[in-house]
Amino acid sequence: MNAHFFLLSSHVPVERLSWIEECLKFFFVQLYPETLIHKKTSESSILSFFMTGDALYSLEDPETLQVWNIILSFTPVRIVCDRQELDLRGIGIGPLRMKYPDQVIDTNSPGADGKPSFWKDLARAARQSKPPLPGTAGWFQTGSPYMHRSAWHGISFLASALEERLSAELYAYLDGVHLGHHSQRPADAENIGEGLTALSEQATSAGLGFLALACGHCATARGYSTWDDGQGTVISSCTIRPFKIRDLNQMIERFMLPHTILSPDAGALHIRKQNAALSFDRAEKTNKVPPVTILITKHPYSTETVFGAVSFAVACAHAGILTRVIFLENGIYAVTGNHRAPPGSAVYNIQDVINAVAGKENLHFFAFTPSFQKRGITKEKSLNAVLDIGYPGLGKIFFYPPGNVHADHQRVLVF
Query: In terms of pLDDT, which residue wins out, 228 or 349?
Result: 349
Domain boundaries, the chain: 1-107, 131-270, 271-415
| Contact between residue 196 and residue 212 where contact means Cβ atoms under 8 Å apart | yes
Q: Which of 56-65, 167-176, 396-405 is the least confident region?
A: 396-405
d(CA 104, CA 200): 34
Number of neighbours of residue 227 by Cβ within 10 angstroms: 10
CA proximity to 116, closest of 104, 101, 102, 105? 105
pLDDT reported for residue 3: 81
pLDDT reported for residue 281: 81
d(CA 352, CA 340): 9
Taken in order 330, 334, 336, 342, is the CA torsion positive or negative? Answer: positive
CA distances from 227 to 86, 92, 245 (A): 45, 52, 10
How would CATH label the architecture of 131-270?
Answer: 3-Layer(aba) Sandwich (3.40)
CA distances from 164 to 83, 137, 309, 316 (A): 20, 10, 31, 28
| Contact between residue 414 and residue 402 where contact means Cβ atoms under 8 Å apart | no
In this predicted model, what pLDDT tens digit does every residue of 289-311 receive, in sequence order? 999 999 999 999 999 999 999 99
Could you give phi then psi for residue 147, rounded to 5 degrees?
A: -70, -30
Distance from chain centroid for Cα 14: 19
Exposed e or buried b per residue across 374-401, where buried means at least 16 C-beta atoms within 10 angstroms of its C-beta: eeeeebbeebeebeebebebbbbbbbbb
What is the 3 state secondary structure string of 117-182?
CHHHHHHHHHCCCCCCCCEEEEEEECCCCCCCCHHHHHHHHHHHHHHCCEEEEEEECHHHHHHHEC
| Contact between residue 402 and residue 291 where contact means Cβ atoms under 8 Å apart | yes
pLDDT reported for residue 120: 96
pLDDT reported for residue 283: 82
d(CA 145, CA 147): 6
Q: Which fold has domain 271-415?
A: Hypothetical Protein Ychn; Chain: A, (3.40.1260)
Banded pLDDT at 30 (limits 50, 70, 90): confident
Q: Quick one: what percent of the chain has pLDDT higher than 90?
A: 80
Same fold, 1-107 and 271-415: yes
d(CA 293, CA 414): 9
CA distances from 180 to 151, 156, 183, 268 (A): 11, 16, 9, 26
SS3 43: coil
pLDDT reported for residue 147: 95
Instruction: Report yes or no on whether pTM surpasses 0.75.
Output: yes
Could you give phi then psi for residue 252, rounded to 5 degrees?
A: -60, -35
Radius of gyration of the chain (CA): 21
Amino acid at 238: C
pLDDT reported for residue 1: 46
Q: Give rounded-to-5 percent helix, strand, coil for the chain.
A: 40, 25, 40
Cα angle for residues 376, 20, 157 (degrees, 5° grid): 125
d(CA 286, CA 406): 8
pLDDT reported for residue 129: 62
Cα angle for residues 66, 70, 75 (degrees, 5° grid): 140
CATH number of 1-107: 3.40.1260
The pLDDT of residue 2 is above 60:
no
Cis upstream peptide for 132 (omega within 30°): yes
